[in-house]
Amino acid sequence: MKIARVRLSFLSLTPALVAVACAHAPAAPAPGIANLSPALPANTVALHFHEVSGQVTDHTWPADTPRLFEKMQPPLGSYDCDFVGEGDECYDVFFSDEKGALDPRGRYLTIEASFLESDAKEGGLNLAEIVAELSTGEMVSATKVIRAVGSGANAQPASFVLAVDGNLETWSVLGTSANGIPLSLTVGF
Ligand SMILES: [Ca+2]
């Protein structure tokens, strides 16, 4: 798989509850097939979420699946997840604005996850990469973290940007949602 290599931009993140919002002005997408969301590169046909729970698993959704345009009702649980990780780790992915709020015409993609284990050595919301598959077959990785919400002693703030570093062997660790707040990562292409 060809993964676009990107240069990391520095993000200063603290170990407790973290909320980072950076202003970005992505270019308007070119007209393309199945490019129903302005969050995606032109001609995107599918999204690949490479989640890590012991091993990397590629969870793939068509770019126009209704799931990407809907947010689950709280609390995020182990029912009807977009995909699951380890134990009670339930993921919900949707198009959003820069604050991580559902927006079907938003320019970003938000991944939320529940992970109730606060004493697990490594926290939850573990994404190695988020990749857009184009109609040409080319794979394009998300390149920037717009916002991250992590919590707990098992959060690793320095890892948050590893979800967009173009490397399938590195991943984000956002911690625990035991405080009732879903872990959340908002990314852009
Ligand atoms: Ca990575």
Please write the tens of the pLDDT for every residue from 53-106.
999 999 999 999 999 999 998 888 757 899 999 888 999 999 999 999 999 999
Looking at residues 147-152, what average pLDDT do you find?
Answer: 97
Burial category of 155 from C-beta neighbours within 10 Å (exposed 0-12, middle 13-18, buried 19 and up): buried
CA of 101 to the centre of ligand 1 (A): 24
- Which protein residues have a CB closer than 5 Å to ligand 1 (ion)? 128, 162, 165, 167, 170
CA of 48 to the centre of ligand 1 (A): 13
Distance CA(132)–CA(146), nearest Å, equals 17
CA of 10 to the centre of ligand 1 (A): 15
CA of 50 to the centre of ligand 1 (A): 9
What's the half-sphere exposure (Cβ side, CA atoms, 13 Å) at 88? 15
Please write the tens of the pLDDT for every residue from 103-139.
999 999 999 999 999 988 899 999 999 999 999 999 9
Distance CA(158)–CA(184), nearest Å, equals 15
Residue type, 167: N
Q: Average per-residue pLDDT in the chain?
A: 85
Look at residue 1 and tell me whether its pLDDT is greater than 90. Answer: no
Please write the tens of the pLDDT for every residue from 39-53.
999 999 999 999 999
